[in-house]
Amino acid sequence: MLDEPSRSTVFRFLRDAQGIGTLDELNSQFIQAVEALGFKSAVYIRLSANGQVLPPRPVFGTAPDGWVDHYFANHYSRFDTAIPMSFQSRDPFTWTEAAARGVEARTATLFGEAFEWWGADTLICPVRGIDGGLSIVNLTLDRGRQVDSAERSTAHALASLFAVAGEGFFDRPEPPQELEKPLTWREAECVYWVCLGKSDSDIGRILSISKKTANHHVEAAKTKLGVSSRASLAWRAFALGLVQPPLS
Amino acid sequence: MIHVVTHALRGVYAQQIAAMHRMRREAFIVGKGWKLQEHNGGEYDRGDDEQAVYLMMLDDHGGLQVSVRLRPVLDWSILLDEMAGCVEDGAETLRRPDIWEMARHLANAQGRSVGEAKRRSAEFRVAMLEAARARKIARIVGSVDVGLLAYGLRAWLDLRPLGLPVVYPEGGAAVGFEIPVTDDLINRLRRQHAMLAPQAFEAPPVAVATGVTGAQIEQNHRAKEHSGVHA
């Protein structure tokens, strides 16, 4: 439960972030707001733009000296379970939670070194964009600290404002290519329901078609979008602007 | 073209309204597990009364693709009455006749080619603002899942959070927001998405007496567009 001054600091940032005139000022006010929640520092990393996956380099914010070079020199992005989790999850999660998903020894090495270099754990907040982009805002916190759902959602809201306001100071990525073959309307309908996690049986029931026909449309959409799994289909459809989330 | 469905026009759009309630049940009760009222295979709440104005995007067969409910907040709204904790300055400060709530926003199969869903989504936003502006509404309020806040900020340009997120009992969290309904915002969104014509379309009252359907209105509009005549 936040005390009144902390709550006021957090709300002020949520309300005013988009009117802040410089990136330095934005950083400064964001850090004040996340410190009110008990976080230490923040870094913004772009993972994807216009359907293309990008190397996870910090764009703004603070990472420990040398960490980024060390990360890329060791090809850690291949073993970094936080990256696929960011694509799959709508909710924030910690490095500790991402490390627990790892099965490779290099993943354990990566997170062991990350905890040491950063001297902290990190809450990763995925931020999705209108142009099919995915960014994350990493907020450092004391190792072993439990972050409850109210703190996570407040941090996520702050991170969303930070990311959107911060991106306003940078150039936008190029728009995506056209699909070689557009989806049919039936395929598009099936893709929409795949994005909501529906099975072929569910989709068949919703659209009054057979499970087999639903599967046929989903497979055709996967081929057209060049992906092999339903999760990738959902992500790619979102990234290409084929599906947009309703707001409320 | 986005159809503006007032209480008087519900007979014209009866098929689409039934589909909307079914989709709402699928998305909110089945999909999200929210404990909402279910009736005749659809989801309904007390906002689905004669004050509700539904906006609908239809396909060329009249099938429902996107819908939202806009409604005055004076007597009741989800944000002010069910989720008042989302408004930091006090929900009652928003109980004004010139404020509408947007709620139960649904979208189905919006795009077949790259960026199409984005364009159609923008058309829908502009139509919401046009419909509200035509009724002298100054602000639209609502609540959004925290995971979609960044999307909302980018899509609506002038969206502002009204408070800190509130955690749902069913899981997840929502942020209250407001959007100013201004000509300036409408014009910026139109320019951004190269929209020349108004997006909101409200059938004249005579439509009710003629027995025309929503599907026929949509098809007629599309035929005019193809022949170069704009409604």
pLDDT at B110 over 90: no
**Alpha carbon distance A68, A118 (integer Å):** 11
**B window 158-177, beta carbon within 8 A of A:** 160-161, 163-165, 167, 171-173, 175
pLDDT at B62 over 80: yes
Q: Say whether both A79 and A199 belong to one domain.
A: no
**Phi/psi of residue A195, each to 5°?**
-60, -25
Q: In percent, how much of chain B has pLDDT > 70? A: 95
pLDDT for res B231: 45
Q: Say whether both A15 and A92 belong to one domain.
A: yes
Q: Say whether both A57 and A162 belong to one domain.
A: yes
- Please enumerate in sequence order all residues whose Cβ is within 8 A of that of B29, keeping only pairs 6 or more positions apart, or say none: B35, B36, B38, B43
Q: Nearest-CA neighbor of A68 among A126, A133, A138? A: A138
What average pLDDT does this structure show over B201-210?
87
Is residue A144, in this structure, part of any structural domain at all?
A: yes
Contact between A245 and B26 using a beta-carbon 8 Å cutoff: no
pLDDT for res A168: 81
Long-range contacts, A17-20 (Cβ 8 Å, 24+): A17/A161, A17/A162, A17/A164, A17/A165, A18/A161, A18/A164, A18/A165, A18/A168, A18/B153, A18/B160, A20/A165
pLDDT for res A236: 76
Strand B99-107, strand B139-145: pairing: parallel
pLDDT for res A132: 65
Confidence of residue B137 (pLDDT cuts 50, 70, 90): very high
Picking from A122, A137, A167, the residue at the C-terminal end of a domain is A167
How much is the pTM? 0.82
* CA atoms within 13 Å, Cβ hemisphere of A64: 14
pLDDT for res A179: 77
Contact between A247 and B151 using a beta-carbon 8 Å cutoff: yes
The pLDDT tens digits of the residues spanning B3-27 come to 999 999 999 999 999 999 999 999 8
Residues of chain A scoring pLDDT < 70: 50-52, 130-132, 171-177, 244-248
Q: Which amino acid is at A68?
A: V
Contact between A183 and B113 using a beta-carbon 8 Å cutoff: yes
How many helices and strands in chain B, by DSSP H and E? 6, 11
Contact between A90 and B145 using a beta-carbon 8 Å cutoff: yes
pLDDT at B203 over 70: yes
The pLDDT tens digits of the residues spanning B158-191 come to 999 999 999 987 778 999 999 999 999 999 999 9
Q: Say whether both A64 and A156 belong to one domain.
A: yes
Share the mean pLDDT of chain B.
91
Residue located via tokens 């078609």: A209
- Cα distances from B181 to residues A16, A34, B78, in angstroms, run 19, 31, 20
ipTM: 0.87
Q: Which residues of B touch A11 (CB under 8 A)?
A: 88, 163-164
The pLDDT tens digits of the residues spanning A56-96 come to 888 888 788 889 899 999 989 888 999 989 888 889 999 99
Of A7, A163, A192, the CB nearest to B164: A7
| Residue A147 CB neighbours (<10 A) | 19
SS3 B193: coil
Q: Say whether both A10 and A113 belong to one domain.
A: yes
**A window 133-162, beta carbon within 8 A of B:** 149-150, 153-154, 156-157, 160-161
pLDDT for res A205: 86
Q: Say whether both A98 and A63 belong to one domain.
A: yes
What average pLDDT does this structure show over B58-80?
94
Q: Say whether both A196 and A150 belong to one domain.
A: no
Domains of chain B with CATH codes? 2-226 (3.40.630.30)
Is residue A173, in this structure, part of any structural domain at all?
A: no
DSSP of chain A, one letter per residue?
Answer: ---HHHHHHHHHHHHHGGG---HHHHHHHHHHHHHTTT---EEEEEEEETTEE----EEEE---TTHHHHHHHTTGGGT-THHHHHHH-SS-EEHHHHHHT--SHHHHHHHHHHHHHHTSEEEEEEEE-TTS-EEEEEEEE-TT----HHHHHHHHHHHHHHHHHHHTTSPPPPPPPPPSSPPPHHHHHHHHHHHTT--HHHHHHHHTS-HHHHHHHHHHHHHHHT-SSHHHHHHHHHHTTS------
Q: Say whether both A193 and A113 belong to one domain.
A: no
pLDDT for res A173: 56
Give yes or no for A168 touching B (CB within 8 A): no
Contact A163, A127 (CB under 8 A): yes
pLDDT at B38 over 50: yes
- CATH code at A144? 3.30.450.80
Contact between A157 and B164 using a beta-carbon 8 Å cutoff: yes
Range of the domain at A205: 185-239
Is residue A175, in this structure, part of any structural domain at all?
A: no
Is residue A52, in this structure, part of any structural domain at all?
A: yes
- Quick one: B61 exposed, middle or buried, by C-beta within 10 A (0-12, 13-18, 19+)? exposed
Q: Say whether both A135 and A204 belong to one domain.
A: no
Give yes or no for A48 touching B (CB within 8 A): no
Strand B42-44, strand B37-39: pairing: antiparallel
pLDDT for res A23: 86
Is residue A199, in this structure, part of any structural domain at all?
A: yes
Is residue A244, in this structure, part of any structural domain at all?
A: no
Domain count, chain A: 2
Is residue A64, in this structure, part of any structural domain at all?
A: yes
Is residue A178, in this structure, part of any structural domain at all?
A: no
Q: What residues are paired with A46 via a beta bridge?
A: A135
